[in-house]
Amino acid sequence: MFSDEEISVFLDELEEKIQVLNENILVLEREGGSQEALQEIFRAAHTIKGSSAVMGYDKMASLTHEIENLFDQMRKGLLPVSGPLVDTLFMALDTLQILRDEIIGKDVSVDIEQVVTSLKQFQGIGSPPSPGEAPESGRGPSKQPAGAIDDGIGEVEEDVIREAELKGLQAYWVTVQLDAGCQMKSVRAFLVFETLQQMGEVIKSQPPAEDIQEGNFETGFRVILLTGEDPDRVRNLLMTVSEVAKTEVNRIKLAAGQEVREQAASDAPAEKTEQAARADHEVKTVQTVRVDVQKLDTLMNLVGELVIDRTRLNRFAEIFEGRFGSGSGDMVETMNEISSHLGQVAGDLQEQIMKARMLPVAQVFNRFPRMVRDLAQKLNKEVDFIVEGHETELDRNVIEVIGDPLIHLIRNALDHGIEGPEERARLGKPRNGVLKLKASYMENHIIITIQDDGKGMDPVKLRAKAVEKGLINGEVAQRMSDQEALNLIFLPGFSTVAKVSDLSGRGVGMDIVRSHIEQINGITDVSSVPGVGTTFTIKLPLTLAIIRALMVELGNEQFAFPLTNVVETISVKAEEIKRVKHNEVILVRGRVLPLVRLSDIFERETCAEMDRLFVVVLGIGEKKVGVIVDKLLGELEIVIKSLGDYLGKVPCLSGATILGDGQVALIVDVRSLVKEIGVEEAVYAAS
Amino acid sequence: MAKGEKQIDSKEDQMVVFQLTEQTYGIDIDAVFEIIRMEAITRVPRTPHFVEGVINLRGKIIPVIDLCKRFNLPLAERTSSSRIIIVDVGGNTIGMIVDGVSEVLRVPLDSIEPPPPMIHGIDAAYLRGIAILDGRLVILLNLDKVLYEHEQSELQRFGVETA
């Protein structure tokens, strides 16, 4: 049957096409019968139908067949876009998704009959009975319906061609070349046949059709096509099939004196511009390959080795110069030149590989419009969902993590934020709520904001709620600023909605969101104005492998604090430090900050001066703690490396990095550090 | 290293021979990845006592242990002949500090004898055997045991106690 690899390519493509369908059906719903969207949809459905049929997934093929038929009618303007129709289409897509899950072995079973029936009901609306293979409305007077075609060959082709020519059809040799790296030759070939059969009749193929459909051919094959279509149109349509590298359509001229109409000379320029346009288009299409991330990681390590060798070369040049003196001047210079060029190339290489790991956030964002639509419908809310910055790129590891938190925030905004249309009307707001999801770059970070114009959050209510739930005491609540009160929503077990819905509000929400984001060195912030709306801002690093860090010195060793956790650095006099029970604290702008000495945590000797101390203020969520270090060395971009399985998880360390001089510096795991020193008790003790 | 010279011969093993506090030890050459000179080691706090720290081996962070500390032997001075033997055992690349590496020896299998219960303060559990070669006693280490047996538990214990 099919290899795992073929199936995985098929599944990837399927996923992609389902996404295309989702997006474009949303477009249809919004804008009515947009021809462009219909074309996209039709093409995607057609591809799924073809590939799934070849792969032997019959249910999927027959389902997409029905979908395709519907779209064909919509495309012809026979069937208007309507709410129920869109709902049915979405239902069909969900079924398709389930069928896909079935293939990857998830234990689900689905009955497609119901969906197919509802799809068929709509087909009844469009006037003519559903055309079997959705033929193009061609100019050819006699169109053979697709069916008994490529198997019946013989010595009679010439007769057939002559006969067809009498009917006004032309015969062409159609040569199709697939991409050399094509992984599903048989599927592509099937699609080519499908496409050809929409335009006419295939009466012969080389190699024989059976072989082609089995994939038993190099990269190309050719067929004789009888059609009334223009050869350019044939070629263009074939080029829309994925992984078709080249097609040629050549008129067959029979020897006997039939009138042979050459391509009129006047056609030529038009054809040329069209070709040129097509060439332009081809240039723009980005060629891609799928690469195992592991391979990229390996490449990255190799670059690391390159950098080290460059450093060695540098040192060697020095030694060389030292040993042979000025007589070696030229050679040393050349060596330095080579070394610096090597370094530059290695740096560029590193950057490019890093970029290769990046994916556009569209990967995640694309799922949301559909989700928002469904949710809004369920909640009887009217929402305009605006997405900006699809193209913003993030490391694939980051992309994998942000999906769930974003879903949660969007659900919250729809469920708790945006009011129902009637209420909005009463409040003098437009009936349609606006939910805006936006991604953008800011320096070395990506900022994702989720903004709604709903009812906002009231700090007074939040304080009361937190006290009621026993999360804080009344006194603390009173002293809180409004912003701090807003941040209460990130406390575990906090949920402002009395009624728990199945959408959100199980009280496990926001703290999980925040900790997910923190896992990838991100920061979550909230701002809200009662009656006006709420905005969540997520600040994420571009990549997980490289972070900006504050470098500090302790004894004669360097440590790195991820900058996302560093609130500020301050310098304090020894006498400012006060003791509360066993804890050292200082007052910073009137607030108590618990202190801890890095030398104590890491059991190191310190050479800090006693009268003036440097404190790095770290923040995890609302918890803050000051860490006393010997010296602040400044910010640095560092590559995170694991300490390896042998050492396993070392308390308070999250890894190590290699400094410019080849030395290793340890990276402090702020989360476990803050946890370990039990900031909470310290804070309570202090207040 | 003389890795390339390795010969498939079931009758003998090739051993990398090194010194540790005046004694000669051998480990199977297959486990040895490379041997490097001593370099600056970054100490890693809150790890077992025999973990010396980590080094940067061409861009990879490699843990380094001190074999003397591992066996609670008297610590020798680091000299210019001190080396770090990089071994690949149990899927991990680990560095071991030794006083010096002398040679690669072919050890006929029939010359390997079972270890006494305790030799030079090292428990027999960590030994593969002993061999007399050229009139010298070579203690053959069982690296799997040396690196993992007791360490795993100690490493884990550390993790649990202090996390």
Q: List the single residue in B45, B51, B59 with the smallest CB-CB distance to A304.
A: B59
Q: What is the CATH number of the domain that holds A606?
A: 2.40.50.180
Angstrom distances, CA of residue B43 to CA of A44, A411, A665, B85, B157: 58, 47, 9, 18, 19
What is the three-class DSSP state of B81? coil
Q: Domain check: are A392 and A537 in the same one? A: yes
**Is residue A560 in some structural domain?**
yes
Q: Domain check: are A551 and A537 in the same one? A: no
Q: Rounded to a whole number, what is the distance in Å from the CA of B79 to chain A's nearest CA?
A: 21
pLDDT, averaged in runs of 10, over chain B (163 residues): 48 88 89 90 90 87 91 83 91 91 87 83 84 85 82 48 37
Q: Domain check: are A506 and A557 in the same one? A: no
Quote the mean pLDDT of chain A.
77
Q: Domain check: are A164 and A227 in the same one? A: yes
| Closest chain A residue by Cα to residue B54 | A664
Residue A537's pLDDT is 93
Q: Domain check: are A208 and A59 in the same one? A: no
Residue B117: how many CB atoms within 10 A of its CB? Answer: 8
Residue B113's pLDDT is 87
Q: List the single residue in B42, B63, B156 with the smallest CB-CB distance to A644.
A: B63
**Is residue A467 in some structural domain?**
no
Peptide bond between residue A207 and the one before it cis (omega within 30 degrees of 0): yes
Q: Domain check: are A509 and A413 in the same one? A: yes
Q: How far apart (Å, rounded) are the C-alpha atoms in residues A20 and A27?
A: 11
Residue A452: how many CB atoms within 10 A of its CB? Answer: 27
Q: Domain check: are A114 and A9 in the same one? A: yes
Kindly determine whether residue B46 and residue A662, on different chains, have CB atoms separated by under 8 Å. no
Using an 8 Å CB-CB cutoff, list chain A residues near B62. 644
Strands A445-452 and A433-442: antiparallel
What pLDDT digit, counting tens, does each position of A253-262 carry? 665 443 333 3
Are the C-beta atoms of residues A473 and A464 closer than 8 Å to each other? no
Q: List the single residue in A307, A643, A645 with the smallest CB-CB distance to B44.
A: A643
Q: List the single residue in A603, A646, A656 with the smallest CB-CB distance to B92.
A: A646
Q: How far apart (Å, rounded) are the C-alpha atoms in residues A590 and A360?
A: 44
Q: Rounded to a whole number, what is the distance in Å from the CA of A667 to chain B's nearest CA?
A: 11
Using an 8 Å CB-CB cutoff, list chain B residues near A353. none
Q: What is the CATH number of the domain that holds A117?
A: 1.20.120.160
Q: Rounded to a whole number, what is the distance in Å from the CA of B159 to chain A's nearest CA?
A: 6
Length of chain B in terms of residues written? 163
Kindly determine whether residue B46 and residue A651, on different chains, have CB atoms separated by under 8 Å. yes
Q: How far apart (Å, rounded) are the C-alpha atoms in residues B107 and B128?
A: 13
Kindly determine whether residue A557 and residue B43, on different chains, have CB atoms separated by under 8 Å. yes
The ipTM (two decimal places) reads 0.83
Kindly determine whether residue B159 and residue A663, on different chains, have CB atoms separated by under 8 Å. no
Q: Rounded to a whole number, what is the distance in Å from the CA of A650 to chain B's nearest CA?
A: 6
Instruction: Choose, out of B33, B49, B52, B54, the residue to mutate when testing the contact with A (most A CBs < 10 Å).
Output: B54
Residue A600's pLDDT is 86
The residues on A that touch B, with CB distances below 8 Å, are: 301, 304-305, 307-309, 557, 601-604, 641-653, 655-656, 658, 662-666, 672, 676
Q: Rounded to a whole number, what is the distance in Å from the CA of A638 to chain B's nearest CA?
A: 13
Instruction: Choose, out of B46, B156, B158, the residue to mutate when testing the contact with A (most A CBs < 10 Å).
Output: B46
Q: Domain check: are A332 and A394 in the same one? A: no
What is the DSSP-derived secondary structure letter of residue A531?
T
Kindly determine whether residue B92 and residue A644, on different chains, have CB atoms separated by under 8 Å. yes
Residue A146's pLDDT is 37
* Cα–Cα nearest to A511, from A409, A625, A367: A409
Q: Domain check: are A552 and A681 in the same one? A: yes
Its domain, for residue A656, covers 546-686
| Closest chain B residue by Cα to residue A669 | B163
**Is residue A593 in some structural domain?**
yes
**Is residue A472 in some structural domain?**
no
First-last CA distance in chain A: 71
**Is residue A26 in some structural domain?**
yes
Are the C-beta atoms of residues A578 and A585 closer than 8 Å to each other? yes
Q: List the single residue in B44, B58, B60 with the smallest CB-CB distance to A647.
A: B44
Instruction: Choose, out of B47, B55, B58, the residue to mutate when testing the contact with A (most A CBs < 10 Å).
Output: B58
Q: Domain check: are A81 and A227 in the same one? A: no
Kindly determine whether residue A645 and residue B62, on different chains, have CB atoms separated by under 8 Å. no
Residue B18's pLDDT is 93
Q: List the single residue in B55, B60, B92 with the smallest CB-CB distance to A645.
A: B92
Q: Which residues of A are catalytic?
A: 46, 68, 412
Are the C-beta atoms of residues B31 and B89 closer than 8 Å to each other? yes
Residue A135's pLDDT is 39
**Is residue A365 in some structural domain?**
no
**A105 phi/psi in degrees, rounded to 5:** 90, 10
Q: What is the CATH number of the domain that holds A156?
A: 3.30.70.1110
Q: Domain check: are A158 and A116 in the same one? A: no
Kindly determine whether residue A646 and residue B63, on different chains, have CB atoms separated by under 8 Å. yes
The DSSP annotation for A577-588 comes to -EEETTEEEEEE
Kindly determine whether residue A663 and residue B56, on different chains, have CB atoms separated by under 8 Å. yes
Q: What is the CATH number of the domain that holds A414?
A: 3.30.565.10
Set out the domains of chain B in order of their start, with CATH numbers: 12-154 (2.40.50.180)
Q: Domain check: are A536 and A412 in the same one? A: yes
Residue A551's pLDDT is 93
Using an 8 Å CB-CB cutoff, list chain B residues near A308. 56, 58-59
Using an 8 Å CB-CB cutoff, list chain A residues near B96. none
The count of structural domains within chain A is 5
* Cα–Cα nearest to A514, from A438, A361, A404, A440: A404
**Is residue A160 in some structural domain?**
yes
Q: How far apart (Å, rounded) are the C-alpha atoms in residues A655 and B82?
A: 27
Low-confidence ranges of chain A (pLDDT < 50): 126-153, 256-284, 497-507, 679-687
Angstrom distances, CA of residue A531 to CA of A417, A456, A547, A617: 10, 5, 38, 35
**Is residue A136 in some structural domain?**
no
